Structure 1
Amino acid sequence: MARKRILLSTRSTVIVLLVIIFLHLTSVSAESEADILIKFKESLKNSGALSNWNNQKPPCSGDQENWVGIFCEAGAVWGLQLQNMGLEGTIDLDSLTKLPHLRTMSFMFNNFDGPIPELARLSGLKTVYLSNNMFSGEIPPETFIGMTGLKKLHLANNKFSGQIPISLLDLPKLMELMLENNEFEGEIPQFPPDRIKRLNVSNNRLVGEIPHSLSNFTTSIFDGNTDLCGAPLKSCTTPNKLSPGTIIPVAILVAAALAALVVVVVILRKRQQAPLGPGEAAAASASATAPAYGKAEQKAYVELDKMEQGRAAATSRAVAPGTTSPEKPSHAKKSEPNVKITFLKEERDKFDMSDLLRASAEVLGSGVFGSTYKAALGDGQMMVVKRFKHMNNVNKEEFHEHMRRLGRLSHPNLLPIVGFYYRKEEKLLVADFVENGSLAVQLHGNRSRGRPCPNWPTRLKIIKGVAKGLLYLYNELPSLTAPNGHLKSSNVLLDRSFNPVLTDYGLVPVVNQEHAQEHMICYKSTEYKQTGRITKKTDVWTLGILILEVLTGRFPSNFLQQGRSNDTDMATWVESVIRDEASNMDIFDANMERAKQCESEMMKLLKIGLDCCQADVDSRPDIKEADEDSGG
């Protein structure tokens, strides 16, 4: 197979170095901090306050600032303080990433709007001040991954919504967090004791018990969140002292089961009734435009959504594991049918929704498809239930057929779908729990928690297993353009022996197209950006990006962007670093333990990853070649 050569010949290397030196000597100003900042200024609107940002003087003279809003240290730009300047437009991170010494930035009291910038691209920042603007929308949970030096984060007085991002927990130096006067929902994350020194979450929509690690703060920082409880506020009165992590998923499953049960009972009773008379038939015809589901079910699902958003925690009654929902009618008969899960594996022990209701449960997380819960069944089985909200364009027959197709798959590197539950508006998929969590946590979460990261032999084993699982999907699902479609490190789970299993595969045909294009990884590929289409080699591209992430330990930040991101992707960054042969080994994750003799293998795998990421689809290997090359 024709393969792009990464290491230049000695002669070519000398020529390239001479060219670089020449360009540096003749056009050094092209990379100057002055031009970088002037380009950044061009991305802003109403930037009259920055009128002295020009090439008449450099931004810094030693520690002296020559430009307004600049902090300098040793002749380099150390910080930006662009407060109360009436600025609008886009914060151009492409320019700011070229300032290697930038450690602090403040854009408070301006008029910036839209989603939060991708701050993880500026991983060296220590302080970020974005308060008193008009930023809005949910902050993705991965937003702060890798910002291990961040100490202060101010986001107050904006319109941020959704949950407080969980990646804040992995910032070991974070001591100041100001989130007041937004629209944050859900529970306050369980911050480690003594980490946060200054905090304000007042006037949001937060619910549940205040973490014990924050109980020493004054009550004023929690004001305006009527559904918060626990010290320093009034004590929580939850029955049986259940934790919110148990109450919420159990209540959600109860509501879902009750709603489905109502539908089943209504249908069975209607079948037992006599045929309608002429008058009754006319009445039924007149109500033909009514909703497809009864009022009880509609109400149950409204409450379901409220509970999942964390807004009804204070008013909904908790359901203890092993008990019956207090909302269940007292006249319910034992003969009424239970809500059944459709199983895809005959050899599996069967259970139904009532078993899940009796299980102790906890929320594992919330992703682009929906929330995920872990349930411990009475017989010791640990199951994972994932709730999908973006499949409502798939009818029942199509969904059942596709699920059975996925249910027939069997491979050591695929997580089997054990069963499913269908409802028009949403679906539930049930799978086994995998002990060691996701590859993303092992690569990125462990580092911030001070835990060991996977070594080179483990990472190589993981890549080999992923390639095998991907090849199997290609062979078994030949009609799908992207048989996986959503390959990323958080969808690679690791068992007790760190063998990888793929999850969330084969879902492109059943996910709403609009939602898929915004969030699924196959639609982040270079070919989709260029042509608006994915190809048979799109999953090969995602494999290449995963290989580079595993080797470098860096999270592909362009995956965080919704829609067609124009950010520099992982492959482009890797190629830019290894152009200089002397820096080849610097590309690898410093936290990855390996023997010296393994470096040639690591470089070989790096080349394979780059080959898989070729922008020219025809230049990429096919999946069989990629599997063989990676040792699969």
Structure 2
Amino acid sequence: MTPSTLLYFLLLIFPSALSLSSDGLALLSLKSAVDGGAVTFSDWNDGDTTPCRWSGIACSSISGEPEPRVVGIALAGKSLRGYIPSELGTLRYLRRLNLHDNEFYGVVPVQLFNATALHSLYLHRNNLSGPFPPSLCTLRRLENLDFSENSFSGHLPPELKDCKQLQRLNLARNNFSGDIPANVWSGMDELVQLDLSDNQFEGPIPDELGDLSSLSGTLNLSFNHLSGKVPASLGKLPATVSFDLRNNNLTGEIPQTGSFSNQGPTAFLGNPNLCGFPLRKSCNGSDSGRGSQEGPDAAAHAGTFHSEKGLSPGLIILISAADAAGVALIGLVIVYVYWKRKDDGNACSCAGKSKFGGSGSGEEKMNLCALQCMNGVKSDEEEEEEEEEAGEGGRVEGGLVNIDKGFRFELDELLRASAYVLGKSGLGIVYKVVLANGVPVAVRRLGEGGDQRYKEFAAEVHAIGKVRHPNIVRLRAYYWAHDEKLLISDFISNGNLAQALRGRSGQPSPNLSWSTRLRIAKGAARGLSYLHECSPRKFVHGDIKPSNILLDNDYQPYISDFGLNRLISITGNTPSTGGLMGGALPYMNSSQKEKTNNYKAPEARFPSSRPTQKWDVYSFGIVLLELLTGRTPESSPTTSTSSVEVPDLVRWVRKGFEQESPLSEMVDPSLLQEVRVKKEVLAVFHVALACTEGDPEVRPRMKTVSENLERIGS
């Protein structure tokens, strides 16, 4: 049905549609192409003059146009069953079409590509079929194309080479077949994601894939019928790229050059005729973990091996005797070390007695031990034993535990030191405490509850203590007692990013030049990426915001407060501050609540939702936007769009880019003098917008975010 026919039809059936804009009429064709959908389209009224208030529709004012035009359609996950009407191609300013996770069927109409402003097309997880549309790459601005989990089939056309602006191409879990074309990749200088997995592709892997220098994340060609050797050219890909070549028919030796050295064995599994490192299958016909004995040398071992299945009885007896002698020797060494330490006169026991053979008067030793035991301070040996037991769920409870062996102090130092309140929140009060040696530390009080969960608490704290990165605040020690739970960490001297951006006057610090802001963004991304990818627990922070990014005197950033929500949960109560260190410090009302956290991802605002790493990515994107614009998401309430709350800061920036507003209208005014970095500012804007995508599956990993930021200005 052509647009003119549709208009005639609508005027006959719905005379009131005469007042509806042309964009609205095109959208009504989508409503009529879907079976049901009464709830989704309940506010799509043909009597409206504009569709801009309809659910799932985004509009923007366009220069030269008398009224706002439709720029986005977002109807994902609505269980819509129908076809995609060709009339959507008349939406000449449409930029994003998001219909994924529905039940659309049939082919993608070629008329859709008359909407030449399209840059993002998300149709994954539907029932669409037919070939890859060759005319799709006439969309010169197309950046994101996701056709995954449909029933598309046929060969990839050579016209794919015209999609030069593509950043993400996902065709996974379809029925595409034939060779992966070799001559279409060289011009895709922006491609960061390529997923062709779970199709029917056959033939060799093209050497040209090694030229995708912008690729990040995973190159996924798994679960196809690819054959031939793994091309050595893939070694030219960035070291951060992971390969997934599983379950193909690849043969020969895995190359050992470039980025191949960073791949694990799982990248190559399911290829029976593939060999070499990192697989355990060597290319000489034997497993790399086992040797074989052949030729004349094998006869020399005839007296040693009784058969191929076991050892001779004589050798078994010899090995057993050697084992017994070794165990006896180790036992003697242990006994000697034990009695040597027991005779050490400089140690004391918390049993209330000085150790046997100690120097000095017994009374002095008794007093020292009593003081240490009363304060929960343990000797080195006892402390190490307790830390081990705490990590393994042992029975030891309480006291001051130094997690970092190179950073030791005693509890009485903490009790007698000067303390200053640094801040208050729902996670307790934080104090600055200067130890006797002049070293300042930050002390956070967690509360008084959770006495029955010490083992769980200690295990969690020790996991946090193992996280060591230049851009993450280091946890040095903790204290556990019935009426007190404390965390002792490094003190970072220059406040936090929120204070630097807003200060007392609401204006950013004059030291926050563009180069400083970019350094803060890169360092914070490195720290958060480490938490996600490399830390022992692969932590989710869950509360990324400027106040949790601390700064030192050189404006180097430090991620703080990760893992705190879990520890608060273990202690079982909201921290109160009723008396710390002798009750000399102020109180805070335990019922005090923090302001709404507008750094949260949209999916994090639903009750009972569990934190994910993609939450952190979204929150980090908001922080980037704040660094760029100088605006805070707390300056105005969130706006509800399609049942999802989105901070106005994100909407404002997206609208600015959609309307192609001058950069000077969006960037923090204090940065306008640094015109030479316009390209860098734009690049960070693009990273931030990718982080703040509404769909968490579309957001990049923090590893990718960090890599993209590192490339800016370097």
Shorter-normalised TM-score: what interval?
0.3 to 0.5
> Structure 2 length normalisation: TM-score?
0.39
Normalised by the length of structure 1, the TM-score is: 0.44
Larger Cα Rg: Structure 1 or Structure 2? 2
* Larger relative contact order (CA 8 Å, sep ≥ 6): 1
